[in-house]
Amino acid sequence: MVSEKIKTSLAPCGLSCEKCFAHVDGDIRRYSLKLKEKLGNFDIYANRFETLLDNPIFSKYSDFKEMLDYFAAKNCRGCRNEQCKLFKDCGIRICHQEKHIDYCFQCDEFPCSRTNFDKHLYKRWVLINEKIKKTGIEQFYEKTKTRPRYV
Ligand code: SF4
Ligand code: SF4
């Protein structure tokens, strides 16, 4: 039986919800909130530094801030709790529930054509689930838990 800790972290497709930028408790959101707090009113200083340091990099601060605000605002509770906020067409969420299994690698139809993933994501899904099948979910989780999601 797969532990709740692993199921909270890894979605039924095998990808990490916990490391997704949209996850409410994920590091990306957490650090974005922290960085926003630490930067305070940097807008004013960005304007000044552009002139004072004669460095045009500071003119890009508003774009950077927009991205940071976006990361800080996202708040998905993960695929096992709600519909994926990024990939609304995902076929796995409903399918794994109907089949009463925790992960696609456990399914006798894997690899199927129900994911609705694009080519890139489909390839990644197959690779991940084959790896889990080979090593076991606990070992896969331990080996990948500190790796970034976006590799
Ligand atoms: S369900 Fe989708 S949006 Fe939500 S944390 Fe998982 S991958 Fe991200
Ligand atoms: S049929 Fe496909 S999407 Fe559904 S659980 Fe099996 S492998 Fe996953």
> What pLDDT does residue 151 have?
85
Alpha carbon of 46 to ligand 1 centroid (Å):
33
Give the pLDDT confidence of 24-43 residue by residue, as tens digits: 999 999 999 999 999 999 99
Alpha carbon of 42 to ligand 1 centroid (Å):
31
Domain ranges of the chain: 1-15+84-151, 25-73
19 ligand 1 Cβ < 6 A: no
> What pLDDT does residue 74 have?
79
Alpha carbon of 6 to ligand 1 centroid (Å):
15
User: What SS3 string covers the chain?
Assistant: CCCHHHHHHECCCCCECCCCCCECCCHHHHHHHHHHHHHCCHHHHHHHHHHHCCCHHHHHHHHHHHHHHHHHHCCECCCCCCCCCCCCCCCHHHHHHHHCCCCHHHCCCCCCCCCCCCHHHHHHHHHHHHHHHHHCHHHHHHHHCCCCCCC
End-to-end CA distance of the chain: 29
Question: What pTM does this model have?
Answer: 0.90
Ligand 1 nearest atom to the CA of residue 87, by list position: 2
Cα separation, 99 vs 137, whole angstroms:
19
Nearest protein CA to atom 2 of ligand 1, as residue: 84
1 pLDDT exceeds 90? no
> What pLDDT does residue 26 have?
96
